[in-house]
Amino acid sequence: MTLEEYLSELGGQIRDDQARSFVEDEIRCHIMDQAEAYESDGMVREDALITAVREMGDPVSVGIDLDKIHRPHMEWRFLIYVLFISILNLGIQYLINKYISFESDGNIVTHFSGTSIISTFGGLSAMLVMYRLDYTILAGRSRIAGLGYLIIITILSSLCESYVNGGKTWISIDDLSVSSFALMTAFLPLFAGILYDYRGKGKSAIVKILLWMFVPVSVGRCCCRLISTSAIFILSAETILFILALYKGWYTVNIKAVLLGGVGITIILAAARLMLAAEYQKQRIMYWLAHFGIGNYSANADHTINYVRRQLASVFAHSNVVRKSDEAIAIMKELPSFQGDLILGSVAATCGIIAAISLLVCLLVLSVYIFSISLRQRNALGYIIGCSCGVAIGLQSFANILAVFGILPFMFTFLPFFGGGFSTIVVDYALLGLVLSIYRYKDIRKEKPVKTMVFKKTEIM
């Protein structure tokens, strides 16, 4: 049997196309190395190759064994956990609609929000679609995909702009509106791919990466009317991913100098933004700082933000440990966004403090789970894209929790899968689908070679 015949018969046992190509290349290299060893011992080249092929064993048996190893995988535990969170979300929305949105009339159907059901099942569908896609398609194409994505956003925002609850979205068709925050969150995996594409480059790559960090935020602010706090969220997520890439040694640069320079630029931009902020925005910041004893503003001033904060604190104070509280529910009914930014208060009022804490633990476990899958990837692209998903989910959760408990000023934040609108929830589920795709191909995606990189650990302080 010739080498090509052997590889053809062996490859016929492997179901995944890319796994087949990967395995055939590996077996070819192994056979050629063995043949060269026989040839160096005095064998004729043709005999050495035939012997090396024969010693590999039966191609069908070997192919079947390799198919078991190099095949797509489903992370069933992760999928089951996501389904658990989806059911939990529907249950929470049911209780909020029953006790806060509507009067209890005993009709179970009326207490389910059509939006929450559509968002959940739409999100699960998006997750399955992303799971079936091969994430490595972004390798070498992320910059083109990112540029095309931003151009599409710019065009559609100018043609299909609309206002929902006073805020502009980039596109609206009938009753369906996609938020600018969801759009920018969806850009994070593309940015992760861009970081991957610049591996092995030096200072010029750092400048280009910084441009890729600020251009999407600028597009979001100018074209999609992305609010300042959402822009800060996206920029923070991009910064975390950039730092992860730096500490992986992907770029031939002085890490310490890059990080110090980034801190300096951030301080300058923050100061400039504060100077240009509207008066009401400055007042919000000053009222927030007053809670920490900074400035001359009274932390108890009768200001809308502080009113919401005081009422929310009262909700937690009146909530029971394990069951609903009529007093807390009455307060939540007077607050805006009890199914959005403040949904944590609604959970405490309708289900109890332990339920609210359990919800936070569930999201924390999910974020850790995503990072555990991503950090174990041997493929660098899978690693950074998986981390982008973990950063998006974790940062959303962290920002909302800190805002609800007064550590951060109130801003446009949601608890992933629970407090957002349709587009935000669908994007969150799509990110989970990417994580499943990364796990699916963990054994069959060969890392592309990259130029040797200089990484000086002594430069890290």
Of the pLDDT bands very low, low, confident and very high (cuts 50, 70, 90), residue 441 is confident
Section 215-230 average pLDDT:
72
Burial of 263 (0-12, 13-18, 19+ CB in 10 A): exposed
Section 16-45 average pLDDT:
82
- Between CA 80 and CA 99 the distance in angstroms is 29
Burial of 166 (0-12, 13-18, 19+ CB in 10 A): exposed
DSSP 365-390: HHHHHHHHHHHT-SSHHHHHHHHHHH
Of the pLDDT bands very low, low, confident and very high (cuts 50, 70, 90), residue 71 is low
Residues in the chain: 461
Q: Which residues contact 422 (CB under 8 A, 6 or more apart)?
A: 115, 118, 119, 122, 176
Q: Write out the two tokens for 243.
A: 């730092």
More confident residue, 239 or 162: 239
Q: Write out the two tokens for 209.
A: 């990466």
pLDDT(176) > 90: no
Residue-level pLDDT at 269: 62
Q: Which of 98-102, 104-108, 211-215, 342-346 has the lowest mean pLDDT?
A: 104-108
pLDDT(44) > 80: yes
pLDDT(348) > 60: yes
Q: Which of 59-73, 154-168, 379-393 has the lowest mean pLDDT?
A: 154-168
| Average pLDDT over the chain, rounded to an integer | 78
More confident residue, 299 or 273: 273
Section 55-66 average pLDDT:
81
pLDDT(351) > 50: yes
The proportion of the chain whose per-residue pLDDT surpasses 90, expressed as a percent, equals 14
Q: Write out the two tokens for 415.
A: 């608890």
Of the pLDDT bands very low, low, confident and very high (cuts 50, 70, 90), residue 427 is very high
Q: Which of 16-25, 108-117, 199-208, 213-222 has the lowest mean pLDDT?
A: 108-117
pLDDT(454) > 50: no
Burial of 342 (0-12, 13-18, 19+ CB in 10 A): buried
- Between CA 397 and CA 414 the distance in angstroms is 7
Q: Do 396 and 416 meet the contact criterion of CB atoms below 8 Å apart?
A: yes
Question: Within 10 A of 146 (CB to CB), how many other CB atoms are there?
Answer: 21
Q: Which residue has the tokens 């007077």?
A: 334
Q: Which of 187-191, 291-295, 448-452 has the lowest mean pLDDT?
A: 448-452
Q: Where are the domains of the chain?
A: 3-69, 76-276+319-459
How many degrees, rounded to 5, is the angle at CA 435 between CA 432 and CA 439?
A: 140
Q: Write out the two tokens for 407.
A: 């550590």
Residue-level pLDDT at 39: 84
pLDDT(22) > 80: no
Of the pLDDT bands very low, low, confident and very high (cuts 50, 70, 90), residue 225 is low
